[in-house]
Amino acid sequence: MKPLIRTLSLILILLIIPRITLSCNLVESVSFGRIDWNHLIVEADGSGMPDPELHDTARARQKASMDAERKAYQNLLNTVMAVRLEGDSTIGRNVKGKDEVLSKIEDILNGAKTVSTRYLSDGTIIKHLMIPLTGPLAQLLLPENIVPIETQKVGDDSADTATHDYTGLVVDARGLNPAPAMCIRIVDEQGESVYGPAFISREYAVQKGVCTYSINQIDQENQDKRVGKTPLIVRAIRIMPPGTSDLMISNTDAARIRAAVSHLFFLRKCRVLILSGDAETTGKNKCSHKTSNAGHGI
């Protein structure tokens, strides 16, 4: 009996461990959906129930499917409105009163991907939609002062070669829990910009996002994709201003970034990752989701 109990315990441990070690994505839950700040995607669900007055099963299912898709779309739109664009300002607040921009957002969301469709035993249909924050949404919404930077201004475009010292930047903001946003600034203790619109080339911001976020630790796959194999790691000392997304680092760390031969290359290409979560969790398999009760921001 005891060997059986030990075997079952081992199976349970094996089932649980991957959920702990691989769930390092910062996923923000809002009233209508979820914002995955690691993969830079917005997700939402919508459900539709069969109309009891429709006796034609096929028609009832079709109507339930259409209702689910409509509600999922509306929830996705509301979730996009809750996304912080920069500082503490959401997309919803930024587009308020700008009917043309809102119309363009709605057009983009018409291309949202249906990730899954679930059929429940009572006839309810649940649709799961997803839209990336990169691509058309980023092109439309990122600040206009993020412009294309000509390669000639920063030298030969060879940041991945062995001639450069660092492949990206990791900002350790554990314990500070900055509010994630599509556009951030990193400043030194005098408030001078170390990373922000002036350092970013728009095509990379649109394709990859200004930065991504991870909770407590970075798995190797995400590190390699975002910041490469040898990133420069610095420590955030404060959120500027409190409750927003911009970060302050020490003058010493700012000098390290500016002194790096490759810093203009990896900053231009948005090879920046913000490490959020609990303070002092280095080496621990402790990853979790950050949640919020934010509304849709309109």
pTM of the model: 0.81
Q: Which residue has the higher pLDDT, 47 or 10?
A: 47
pLDDT at site 61: 84
pLDDT tens digits for range 174-183: 999 899 999 9
pLDDT at 297 over 60: no
**Residue 250 dihedral angles phi and psi, to the nearest 5°:** -70, 160
Distance CA 143, CA 115 (A): 29
What is the tens place of the pLDDT at every residue in 66-117? Answer: 999 999 999 999 999 999 999 889 999 999 999 999 999 999 999 999 999 9
- Amino acid (one-letter) located at 210: V
As a residue count, the chain comes to 298
The pLDDT tens digits of the residues spanning 192-246 come to: 999 999 999 999 999 999 999 998 877 777 777 899 999 999 999 999 887 789 9
DSSP sequence for 233-266: EEEEEEESSTTSS-EEE-HHHHHHHHH-TTHHHH
Dihedral of alpha carbons 54, 56, 59, 62, sign: positive
- 20-47: pLDDT as tens digits: 223 478 899 999 999 999 999 999 999 9
Q: Is there a contact between 186 and 193 (Cβ–Cβ < 8 Å)?
A: yes
Identify the three-state secondary structure at position 280.
coil
Per-residue pLDDT at 241: 85
Name the least confident of 139-148, 149-158, 204-213: 149-158
Mean pLDDT over 162-174 rounds to 84
**Strands 169-172 and 272-276, sheet pairing:** parallel
Task: Examine the pLDDT at 298 and tell me if it is beyond 80.
Answer: no
The edge-to-edge listing of strands for the beta sheet with 169-172 is 193-195, 186-187, 247-249, 232-239, 169-172, 272-276, 212-215
State the pLDDT at residue 56: 66
Q: Token digits for 229?
A: 């194999």
Mean pLDDT score of the chain: 83
Residues sharing a CB contact under 8 Å with residue 8, sequence separation 6 or more, in sequence order: none
